[in-house]
Structure 1
């Protein structure tokens, strides 16, 4: 083969995709994750990081942030190749497997596991002409490391669960925290809103951000009161915008996969109508399925084992996880 082929390519870096990559590496497969966002964690990391999750075995309750942190540590220990800020646009069959045309380059794989959930995410961006100038610096749509907000003046824009969740995470760290929302009422869960209101957070409502300017090392925000011409200025170290995310499965519709109930139809082996392509998590459908994160975690090893059986028909089914780890460690020493 003139091209480098991975054994398994996992499209989607949410919780289920992360665990699939970990398990595939336990089985010594050559694995890559392709994720459209700038971080791993999917919906859990971007939409409800502080929300408590109750369907993870052995955890009576765990926050989205802690769940992703644990999965990230697990992924790091097994070290699959990870490609962030990259979207798969086309999948073409080749004599050796598949060619994946992405927003950055062409990649090759002997099998594919789709773990995209409800689709590729894009943040709803701040609609100000020069906003792009500050993106990835003092203007953020994602949180990669909470510690950057420590002892800083931080503004969060938004009124939904994601904005309030991040505010609850950042408030204990920040020197000052401002919450900017265009209405006096919030869409977020009432209990979490009440928790935030009990802190020292400064609520700036009903205001819209209408201008951004840099002054020395600060980001200056112009806030305009809703339905008026009243303005005020606010100087911050960071602005985190949480206006929600748009998701799309349009690319998947062009990949020739059979769908059902707005998801990819799979059989008991997690295989789609195209041999060698599998789907797991919220983006996969089979009759009687319960849509839980725990369900997706169970589907991941099933898909991995069947993908490897497709690629290597002579390969025996795996032993218990302790044996897999012993073999993985032995392989790493070679």
Structure 2
């Protein structure tokens, strides 16, 4: 199915959904493309039950609830969704652009905003090997139910590792967090919260072996300079982060730093009529937070407005102002 719209958005995560709403606020017809079959991007796919703590107005909000609100808000723009389809080709011209999808359909638009997270993900390998994936070892936790009354080992030192350890601790028989360094990448608030629970944190260590007969039943943990220690485990969460892969976007001629798309303060890329917002962008002082992505989405839409309609103003006025 082909479509012709004012603005096409590539990526249906939080930033893309807010961009869709804001495009509707500006009066533009919008289409949203995502390679995942559901709206919400990484949140829906990886951590719908996780509490998100860095969105303005929400001291704490579950991922799925945040996505639900964003979808409801975006619905006011009546966007056309192209889900479970990957943006493959891009042709730009003086008057617009054409986006080709992997199912053969095409979307013609006057401008584009790329909000596709950091592209396709490849999980970093667990030192003990990934042959146990799906047999007690997982890379993310979309549901907490499978971990009830189990001995869980979480591997990693970032926000996801600490968030999952904190959420699983009340449900699991035991939770052990293993990290290869003494220092953590997670927010100090999260580290302090986990330290206040029964979670055992083991640093300068790695999971060097996984044991079991078809399913995980235990692990070997090796601390630097010490002999290995055996520990029971029926579940392993390898929260080791991901290697960014921009996929087909790399063939479009976008300026990148290999992992992200370079933009200016207007969220413009080096390609005419192509903007970007959210985790995929890079510029001096960039901070990768959902809250920042929302602001970048509004900036991108407002600057794309001039490309869509040369008579439009970058700043349309506040949404709270009367007509």
Deviation at 1:239, TM superposition (A): 2.1
Q: SS at the partner of 1:32? A: strand
Deviation at 1:156, TM superposition (A): 1.3
The answer to whether the 8 Å contact 1:130/1:212 transfers is no
How far apart are the structure 2 equivalents of 1:71 and 1:138? 29
Q: SS at the partner of 1:167? A: helix
May I ask how many residue pairs the two structures share in their alignment?
Answer: 301
**213, 219, 223: which is aligned to 1:222?**
219
TM-score for both structures, normalised by structure 2: 0.68
- Aligned in 2, Cα 1:278/1:129: closer, same or farther, shift over 3 Å? same
Residues 215-269 of structure 1, C-alpha deviation per residue, up to 9 Å, x if partnerless? 5xx5323314245664525231x32111122224475453223569x7433574x
Please give the residue correspondences for 1:98-137 in structure 2 after superposition, counting only pairs within 5 Å: 98-100=98-100, 105-111=103-109, 112-116=112-116, 120-128=120-128, 131=131, 134-135=133-134
Please give the residue correspondences for 1:91-170 in structure 2 after superposition, counting only pairs within 5 Å: 91-93=90-92, 97-100=97-100, 105-111=103-109, 112-116=112-116, 120-128=120-128, 131=131, 134-135=133-134, 138-170=136-168
Please give the residue correspondences for 1:178-197 in structure 2 after superposition, counting only pairs within 5 Å: 178-182=176-180, 185-187=182-184, 188-197=186-195
How far apart are the structure 2 equivalents of 1:273 and 1:115? 16
Q: SS at the partner of 1:208? A: strand
TM-score for both structures, normalised by structure 1: 0.66
- Aligned in 2, Cα 1:298/1:134: closer, same or farther, shift over 3 Å? closer
Q: SS at the partner of 1:281? A: coil
How far apart are the structure 1 equivalents of 2:284 and 2:192? 40
How far apart are the structure 2 equivalents of 1:290 and 1:190? 17
Structure 2: gaps of 5 or more residues: none
How far apart are the structure 2 equivalents of 1:129 and 1:37? 29
- Aligned in 2, Cα 1:124/1:282: closer, same or farther, shift over 3 Å? closer
Q: Where does residue 257 of structure 1 map in the other structure? A: 254
Structure 1: gaps of 5 or more residues: 324-334
Residues 85-117 of structure 1, C-alpha deviation per residue, up to 9 Å, x if partnerless? x76554345998423455xx4553223311245
How far apart are the structure 2 equivalents of 1:287 and 1:134? 38
Q: SS at the partner of 1:134? A: coil
The answer to whether the 8 Å contact 1:210/1:222 transfers is yes
The answer to whether the 8 Å contact 2:87/2:99 transfers is no
CA-atom RMSD, angstroms?
4.6
